[in-house]
Structure 1
């Protein structure tokens, strides 16, 4: 497989993206729509969702689906609906709570899954959505983070039960996302599970943003606009040579490149442990085999 990847057209494919009303999720939706995909825009706000759909190429081809990852009833309803589709070519698990969104003093909160809300939303909510959607899913794209390289996975405090810092909780959620994504590949060989990290992204660097070039210049090569950060996600969905188990990150000229995650992300013992913990916290088993033919 080439190290550098460029997506191809995926006319007729259906792709669902969580958190697709803004940021990386929206830009991924737009780029995939450009490649011919039908995009299901999953998001919490109906007004923002319909605005996002209207901004996509050929908006009549796409659909907004209201999804609140903080609401287990909403997750169940949307997950079951996705699972009933004849075929879902890709499910992109993009949405999530970002550390510090409520300011430096962000408080520890318990979310819908009875654990700290950042890990609950970013990992457990997506795992439950996927569990219900599995009958239709062909490819899963999970968004990790380069923060996993800076903050190690803490198996004893991944749910912030001993002590809490929002940035660490966010890192734990992204470690969990990566570990679970690779374990998914090991357990469900017929479902292509690909993990992506988009690099650093800020809105100030996207085309057309009103920011002085002098302010943006020091960050070039370190962080990129969210339109650029969406490119590895698009490559993960629309690169036919991928077979699952890959870890993609940004590339300066190509859409993405195959990279290596931190060792804990690929650790099979840790993956088995997290899978079991995830099932325990969800209160449900995740099917050991996909329930669809491959074709």
Structure 2
């Protein structure tokens, strides 16, 4: 029997969410604010950021912080700012480049980290942000994908250097997010690391979108709206009984359930290799000795 997971109240806790101005991130922000959190809305657009904050419960409690994951200077500034907070209860690594109609085209593009763009933004940019925030962050929530079950991890082509397809590059980025999330669990004894996959989600199924009722009737049980996809992410942040190293996915009646990732995500040898590769590409060590007090 699966272990169902429900969130609890997190009054007074501070949560930072990347990509919180749209999609799953914005619904995660709203649901966590409903649970009492102070939300730091991280995103590129100033206007969308301000609008997101103003729509949250008790908007004066929350803050927009401009973050561009394609810009190393922006990542460094925001990461250092998070690392200087007296306490950051959770950092949700949600933002990312998505392969599809509105995502990368057929040509391979290079990120600010000198590697393929999708992996560069979805994994390396978040790893650098986290590296700088680790002095204060208590729980890391990384967003994987159920696409990892359909496209296997290719260690020889994880950066799309041999051949490139946007969908495969996206799958590689989500494999690396999951592998790295479990390696964080192994290395950061005093910082929890939870990995989540939000399931299949499309914007058309989200309440308030044109045709949402029709779309729900057509796709019920297959995919879900972005509002429902946020639920396992919220549970990963706000569930008091969760242990570091667990993997959450959607559940029909609960917010989430503990599930089993693909075997490569849990492979400690692969995790150690990716950790070394990540540090090499970042050009910096990731601290493995948390410096915050535990209380």
> Equivalent residue of 2:141, what SS?
strand
TM-aligned CA distance change 1:208 to 1:243, over 3 Å: same
Q: CA deviation at 1:105?
A: 4.3
2:90, 2:221 → 1: CA distance? 29
How far has the Cα of 1:214 moved from its partner? 4.2
- Decide which moves more: 23-32 or 98-107: 98-107
Deviations 1:2-43 (A, max 9, x none): 800110000000000000000000000000000000000000
* Offset at residue 66 of structure 1 (A): 0.2
Q: Give 1:142-181 correspondences, 5 Å limit.
A: 142-181=142-181
Alpha-carbon distance in 2 for matches of 1:40, 1:49: 10
- TM-score when scaled to structure 1? 0.97
State whether structure 2 residue 177 is matched by structure 1 residue 189.
no
Correspondence for 1:209 = 209
Q: Please give the alpha-carbon distance, in whole angstroms, between the structure 1 residues aligned to 2:143 and 2:153.
A: 16
TM-score by length of 2: 0.97
Residue of structure 2 equivalent to 1:224: 224
Change (3 A) 1:180 1:212: closer
* CA distance 1:154–1:42, change in 2 (3 Å): same
Partner of 2:46: 46
Specify the SS of the correspondent of 2:237. Answer: helix
Secondary structure of 2:51's partner? helix
Look up the match of 2:276.
Answer: 276
Q: Aligned-pair distance for 1:216?
A: 3.3
Q: Which runs of 5+ in 1 are unaligned?
A: none
Give the equivalent residue in structure 2 for 1:15.
Answer: 15
Q: Which runs of 5+ in 2 are unaligned?
A: none
Alignment deviations for residues 236-294 of structure 1 (CA, whole Å, 9 cap, x no partner)? 00001112100000000000000000000000000000000000000000012111121
Indicate the residue corresponding to 1:247 in structure 2: 247
| CA distance in structure 2 between the partners assigned to 1:104 and 1:169 by the alignment | 10
Q: Deviation at 1:175?
A: 0.2
> Within 1, Cα distance between the matches of 2:167 and 2:53?
32
**2-structure distance, mates of 1:88, 1:191:** 11
Distance 1:169 1:272 in 2: 21
Deviations 1:100-134 (A, max 9, x none): 25468432100100000000000000000000000
Q: 1:220 Cα deviation (Å)?
A: 1.1
SS in 2 for 1:223: coil
How big is the alpha-carbon RMSD for the aligned residues of Structure 1 and Structure 2?
1.4
* Aligned equivalents of 2:264, 2:204: Cα separation in 1: 33
CA distance in 2, matches of 1:214, 1:53: 30
Structure 1 CA distance for aligned equivalents of residues 286 and 132 of structure 2 = 9
Provide the secondary structure at the position in 1 that maps to 2:252.
Answer: coil
Residue 280 of structure 2: SS of its match in structure 1?
Answer: helix
Count of aligned residue pairs for this structure pair: 295
Residues 154-210 of structure 1, C-alpha deviation per residue, up to 9 Å, x if partnerless? 000000000000000000000000000000000001110000000011111112222
Moved over 6 A (4+): none
Tell me how far apart the structure 2 counterparts of residues 52 and 104 of structure 1 sit (CA, whole Å).
25
